[in-house]
Amino acid sequence: MQHISIKLNQNKKDVQSLIIDMDGVLWKGEQPIGNLAMIFDTIRKRNYGFILATNNAMLSVEQYQEKLSKFNVSLEAWQIINSSQATAQYLKGKNAQGGPVFIIGENGIQSMLREYGFYHSENNPIAVVVGLDRELNYEKLRKATLFIRKGSEFIGTNPDVTYPMPEGLIPGAGSILAALSVASATTPKIIGKPSPYMYTYALERLKTEPKHTLVIGDRLETDIAGAQKIGFLTGLVLSGVTNRELALDWKPAPNFISEDLSSLINELE
């Protein structure tokens, strides 16, 4: 694939840190995209600070560390942010004491909410929290709909309607949110990208400004749109859900459009 790029007006030295998405950028399912160990070695050699930030709430931070280690990449816990963390912090800000929530989601969101004092319950939950759930069934949808209609806050970890796998795109958390939104006649509060919460947490850890931070992702409507709204530099990779035609039609254009993460990092050299 021929590389496409839109030149930055700033000198490359203005890029001091990176916020990197995971699914569709680092891997598809269990299949890595490129030599991840080599890519992160290059990032470190160039002294970029970096955070991995994903809308995926299925895995815990520790599970992401384990997954990265399979590709010979070692990261500290503070270098990983996912939408379950952001959701837990959002709920804690409104309910400092914790409390009951009804969860549609997997281990990542369940364990993270427990760390912040929130537990799955069908007894007057203060919120219905929805992420990608590969064991979704009609009963979960029924209960969630009734709770939302009775006044429980409707929270979506992320709006991604699809999830990239080696065999193609499969339904994501956004698809579940769409069903519940129609059934409950309620719009969910979205915590993951393109909402600002995860970007804000990443900047706090990186201690840089948006104008010196490059957000790298594979989704225009979440990764790129959210970053552009805040004023980040943006890099789109075509290794996930976005094809070349959609990338070139996006306005305003990302600062970089590259085949994959390795190509994008090389473009910064």
CA dist., res. 175 & res. 208, Å (int): 34
CATH of residue 154's domain is 3.40.50.1000
- Percent of the chain's residues with pLDDT above 70: 95
Does residue 62 lie within any of the structural domains? no
Q: What is the pLDDT of residues 108-157, one digit of tens each?
A: 899 999 999 999 999 999 999 999 999 999 999 999 999 999 999 999 99
Best CA proximity match to 230, nearest among 199, 259, 269: 199
Which domain range does residue 139 map to? 94-190
Q: Which of 190, 210, 226 is the last residue of a domain?
A: 190
- pTM attached to this predicted model: 0.89
When pLDDT is averaged across residues 77-95 and rounded to a whole number, the result is 95
Number of domains in the chain: 2
What pairs with residue 206 in β-bridges? none
35 residue type, one letter: N
Shared domain for 174 and 106, answered yes or no, is yes
Does residue 76 lie within any of the structural domains? no
CA dist., res. 156 & res. 190, Å (int): 5
Shared domain for 107 and 167, answered yes or no, is yes
Instruction: Give the E-state strand segments of 131-262 in sequence order.
Output: 153-156, 162-165, 168-171, 189-190, 213-217, 233-237, 256-258
Q: What is the pLDDT of residues 183-219, one digit of tens each?
A: 999 999 999 999 999 999 999 999 999 999 999 999 9
Shared domain for 101 and 172, answered yes or no, is yes
- pLDDT value for 4: 54
